[in-house]
Amino acid sequence: MKNKFLLVILILIVASFALSSCTGGGRVMASGWPGITVDDETAYVSFNQHVYAVSLTNGVEKWRYPAAVEKNVSFYAAPAVTPDGQVIVGGYNNILYSLNAANGQSNWTFEDSQDRFVGSALVAAEQIYVPSSDNKLYALNLNGQPVWAQPFATEDANWSKPATDPNCQCVYLASMDHSVYAINPATGKQIWRSEMLGGAMVGTPAVSDDGQLYIGTFLDELVAIDTSNGQILWRFPTQGWVWASPTLDGDVLYFGDIEGNFYAVDRQTSNQIWTIKSNGAIVGKPLITADGIYFTTEAGTLYALTLEGSTRWTKDFEATLHSGPLAVGDTILIATDEGGLVLFALDAEGLQKWQFSPSEEK
Amino acid sequence: MWDAVITVFINVLLYIYDFVGNNFGLAIIFFTLLIRLVTYPLNAKQMKSTQAMQDLQGSKEWQDIQKKYKNDKEKLAQEQMRIYQEMGVSPFGSCLPTIIQFPIIIALYQSITRSLAVTPLQLLALSKHITNGATLIPLNRQFLWMDLSQPERLIIFGFSIPLLAVIVAVTSYLQTKMMTPANPNANDQGAQMSKMMNLYMPLFMGWLAFSFPSGLAIYFITSNLASIIQYGAMGKLDWKNLIPKKKTA
């Protein structure tokens, strides 16, 4: 009987561990990957419990926010930088932070959201547009005050960074409620709503100069929408969910799916120009430079392609890569997230210039 | 292998979710009932073994050897094994079905939490399990007053009450009390252990419901009530166990 009792106690302990390992025990911890934004001199990287400012010259940390780990403060959304030197970043604790880009000191916070921030803020025309998991899009001025009488409401969470279109003074929001919205930036009123696309969206739409919007969905499609009225122009089928934002270069759209397929599609005809199969899920937005195309895979490989789809080189990082590559001048930034953040600065041939790993807490 | 099990569970859960009109709370309830149905032979075997063990431990022969060999543990163990064999009762008969069900409970819980996918990495991981349900994503996490991905609290007059945790603890206690036959030897070690477990187990379940996403609490409550109803249908509920007995000298 004693053995039986011990067995039951053992089962209870194992059950606790088994359940805890699935959920993190209810603690509010980031479960995403690094978000990177740059200005001329600095990379701002949000990851887990900090936002880091890193010198683009040598990879040295300038500041981190918060200076020491704070309970329940963690970040997934990539920071946004305003023209007046603020770093705007939303946290998993439902709080939007404005930090001084020069020293990382807090300017103000916005705490109206009822759920966590996953999507990055868009800064346009001196307004900040913040998507939230509480089914809202908030518009703030640069002092953190709401601009609209009411936040714009959707039917599900918003994880996508909004896009803008100077031609029509619109803000476009791709929502997890399967719809794309065009919103008046002055009033927060809906201009149009697309038909239900059948799949959630978490990427940022690409918008062309001639009024077309492109967005990938979880229905295994890339969809083109007429920005004047929200009508669907065409649908391009893929082999898996399209998580990453498409990148538009001339008349060609470049994007990947989570089955590891990378596509080049003619935006006028929706014809596939070429496709290649990579070694893992493609989650980050591809980068197009004068040298060609760069994209990352979850398997930890950075691919460098020509615009015609030939592989120039690949580089393995032996860690998962979810964030897309980012270019600053002739430097390409890559952030790994497995086992902790490492930010790499590479040249166009993949040779390392410097790397940054956050030091331990002081 | 484990991932394959989770994949099956998630897809069945999503199928039910779709069938019941995108209500994840109802999907958990129906999925729990489905699991109970599938594991019914194991449950029935466990109930039968528990009853047989209780009958055996209440028998005169068992009591006699307890007294006779109370100072000779080795001999007592030998005699106990002899009685087990003669009566055709396995000492682990009531334990094994529980152990076999344990991975099912963990898989069910993991499939619930993975389906709710409230973070980007969780959603990305979920995409690898879904075979034909991408149109259902993201799942509706609201059920009654609860966010199924968060521990439940009901706000009443400004006070945050963990109502589901209380219900889980109470239904677990009722289930244990009503389904455990009274041990005639209240003073023996086994009875003391059972008494302790009957108290601690509901508290443990209540703590899990208090700490983990409310989807788990929905599962516990459904499972507890299903057990009680199943026992009742078999005519084995012991209502008298709910009434505290006077201690006899």
- The residue from B102, B124, B140 where one domain ends is B140
Percent of chain B at pLDDT above 70? 83
Q: Give the distance from CA A253 to its chain's centroid.
A: 18
Neighbours of A88 (CB within 10 A): 28
Query: Residues B41, B110: one domain?
Result: yes
Whole-angstrom distance, CA of residue B163 vs CA of residue B159? 11
Is the pTM for the entire model greater than 0.95? no
Interface contact flag, B134 A258, Cβ < 8 Å: no
Query: Residues B26, B124: one domain?
Result: yes
What single DSSP character describes residue B107? H
Query: Residues B192, B215: one domain?
Result: yes
pLDDT of residue A241: 97
Judged against a pLDDT cut of 60, whether residue A22 lies above it is answered with no
Residues in chain A within 8 Å Cβ distance of B204: 12
pLDDT of residue A24: 41
- The residue from B122, B140, B158 where one domain ends is B140
Judged against a pLDDT cut of 80, whether residue B95 lies above it is answered with no
Interface contact flag, B211 A218, Cβ < 8 Å: no
Domain that residue B172 falls in: 142-249
Mean pLDDT of chain B: 83
Mean pLDDT of chain A: 92
pLDDT of residue B184: 58
Report the half-sphere exposure of B92 (CA within 13 A, side-chain side). Answer: 5
| Structure tokens given for B249 | 């000298």
Query: Residues B135, B162: one domain?
Result: no
Judged against a pLDDT cut of 70, whether residue B246 lies above it is answered with no
pLDDT, tens digit (0-9, with 9 covering 90-100), for A220-241 = 999 999 999 999 999 999 999 9
Query: Residues B227, B246: one domain?
Result: yes
pLDDT, tens digit (0-9, with 9 covering 90-100), for A119-150 = 999 999 899 999 999 999 999 999 999 999 99
Query: Residues B101, B164: one domain?
Result: no
pLDDT, tens digit (0-9, with 9 covering 90-100), for B160-171 = 889 999 999 999
Query: Residues B32, B110: one domain?
Result: yes
| Structure tokens given for B188 | 């023996």
- Give the minimum alpha-carbon distance from A153 to chain B in angstroms, rounded to a whole number: 16
Neighbours of B86 (CB within 10 A): 10
Interface contact flag, A32 B137, Cβ < 8 Å: no
Nearest Cα neighbor of A286 from A271, A272, A302, A300 is A302
pLDDT of residue A26: 40
**A23 — pLDDT class (breaks 50, 70, 90):** very low
User: Could you tell me which residues are beta bridge partners of residue A316?
Assistant: A301
Judged against a pLDDT cut of 50, whether residue A329 lies above it is answered with yes
Judged against a pLDDT cut of 90, whether residue B81 lies above it is answered with no
Query: Residues B28, B54: one domain?
Result: yes
Residues in chain A within 8 Å Cβ distance of B208: 15-16, 19
**B100 — pLDDT class (breaks 50, 70, 90):** low
Nearest chain A alpha carbon to B151: A26
Q: How many domains does chain B have?
A: 2
Query: Residues B84, B158: one domain?
Result: no
The H-or-E segment that residue B213 falls in is: none
pLDDT, tens digit (0-9, with 9 covering 90-100), for B213-228 = 898 899 889 988 988 8
pLDDT, tens digit (0-9, with 9 covering 90-100), for A72-93 = 899 988 999 999 999 999 999 9
User: Could you tell me which residues are beta bridge partners of residue B229?
Assistant: none
- The residue from B116, B140, B164 where one domain ends is B140
